[in-house]
Amino acid sequence: MDKYIVNKADAVLLLIDLQEKLMQAVYSRDEVIKNVNIMIKAAQIMGIPIVLTEQYPKGLGATLPELKQNAGLFHYIEKVKFSAYVPEMQDVLAKINRRTVIVTGVETHICVYQTVRDLTANGFGVHILKDAVGSRTEENYKNGIQLMSEIGAVISNTETILFDLLKTSSALEFKQISALVK
């Protein structure tokens, strides 16, 4: 049951390739952006580190400005591999010494899936926010979610993770976090 528990002291928020050209084609674009922004704000409130990746930004553009500017301080990784679990990511994760990765991003069935596969294979607990990941088609999205579930990632959603991180309504951050989802 431990894999289903998320603790803020051991969590990191991963934003995978939420870039201009990729996001134009995502079928659930608005929902993904809304929920990623909620998670960014929550991570800042709770002191959870944020890692942001960009896949070949020369060709695919930068991370959406409305996400990047809200992310504040973050660890940045530029990549050309589909999996974000590249040596730079491994270094960042080793430095921040956290073993639970909360995953958002695109595309669910490519970069998100391959990253989750590699994180899981390397002993990380992985939680997918199914309302904060997206693909160009619903079929590809569903396939990516299914694959990640089959390899052992926990499939969750933004509100479930937020309130699991809080644990109790007496948490100092409760009012700020609950206001994000109203």
Tens of pLDDT along 63-88? 888 887 777 778 999 999 999 999 99
| Residues with a known catalytic role | 17, 79, 111
The torsion angles phi and psi of 128, rounded to 5 degrees, stand at: -95, 130
CA dihedral 116, 117, 123, 124 (to 10 degrees): 0
Kindly report the average pLDDT of the chain as a whole number.
Answer: 95
Model's pTM, two decimal places? 0.96
pLDDT of residue 69: 75
Domains of the chain: 2-180 (3.40.50.850)
Question: pLDDT digits over 1-43, tens only?
Answer: 789 999 999 999 999 999 999 999 999 999 999 999 999 999 9
β-pairing, 100-106 vs 50-55, is: unpaired
Residue position matching structure tokens 């937020």: 162
pLDDT at res. 129: 98
